[in-house]
Amino acid sequence: MRRLQQILLVTSVALLVTGCVSQRTVDGKNQPAQKFNTQEAASTRLALGLQYLQSGNYQQARANLERAREYTPNNPAVLTGLAFYYQRVKEYQSAERYYRQAIDLQPTNGDTYNNLGALLCSIGRYDEADRYFQQALQIPDYIKVASTYENAARCAAKAGKMQQSDQYFRRAMNHSAGSSSILESYAAVLLEQQRTEKAAQVLRQRANLPQLSAQYLWLEIQLAKQQNNKVRQISFAELLLSRFPNSRQAREYQAQTSEPNS
């Protein structure tokens, strides 16, 4: 769902003022100090809060996000930041409430519908989630169509709606030709469903793309297991361990092969 991308704005605010005050300059003249800008201060606090959230410092994340809300209580971006925070700490009712507040204030922001859909899907409210994905897709200038179709496809798969999931994945690929991540996502779902032949077809498409990834190699290993092809499994495992030795997938493979009867 599905990623936080933030830029840390490094800003030092020594004194918060609410109006114009006088200050003495070097040449002895009085000039008005710069008026405190609540919008800029909120943006800075929001960026800091999201950066802390990304690094796992939840206490500082919440402190900065709450301060951002104090500065601009009706700022949809700040409310979405708070929704991210509560989603991360698994307080899903609070996360949902903030997403809905953000939508009320900015009903043409497709990202918020998509994010709320992803949240609802994660807690098993699949039909509601699909409605919010569809609302995002209906916004005329919404550009993240492929990723929303991918989210909708994964959610449909979780709901056991295989045909709908396939349809959404096809649309995601239509809107993002040559996307390795979408092909990998689709293959992962197919392998989970034990649809080995279809997974092999999707991974053949992925194999034609230029850049390897740890996830692609991991999926090839899982496919080889389902096909009971030991030679192919070992070949892709060796490639995974040599090219991506520190990846999560490499660690998971090593953990599996160290288990008895693996």
- Residue 143 belongs to a domain: no
- In tens, the pLDDT along 52-88 reads 999 999 999 999 999 999 999 999 999 999 999 999 9
- Residue 119 belongs to a domain: no
- In tens, the pLDDT along 192-237 reads 999 999 999 999 999 999 899 999 999 999 999 999 999 999 999 9
Domain count, the chain: 2
> Would residue 234 be called left, alpha or beta, if left means φ above 0 and alpha means ψ between -120 and 50 degrees?
alpha
- Residue 213 belongs to a domain: yes
- Count CB-CB contacts under 10 A for residue 65: 27
Query: Strand runs (DSSP E) across the chain, as ranges?
Result: 22-24, 30-32
Q: Which domain holds residue 217?
A: 199-262
- Residue 185 belongs to a domain: no
- Residue 178 belongs to a domain: no
- Residue 177 belongs to a domain: no
State which of 74, 91, 108 marks the end of a domain.
91
Residue 151 in tokens: 């989210």
- Residue 205 belongs to a domain: yes
Burial call 104-116: b when 16+ CB within 10 Å, e when fewer: eebeebbbbbbbb
- In tens, the pLDDT along 130-178 reads 999 999 999 999 999 999 999 999 999 999 999 999 999 999 999 998 8
- In tens, the pLDDT along 86-139 reads 999 999 999 999 999 999 999 999 999 999 999 999 999 999 999 999 999 999
- Residue 72 DSSP label: -
State which of 91, 115, 135 marks the end of a domain.
91
Residue 36 in tokens: 């405190």
Question: Over the chain, what is the mean pLDDT?
Answer: 88
State which of 60, 91, 122 marks the end of a domain.
91
| Cα–Cα distance for residue pair 144/136, rounded to 1 Å | 9
pTM: 0.81
Is the Cβ–Cβ distance between 114 and 103 less than 8 Å? no
- Residue 135 belongs to a domain: no
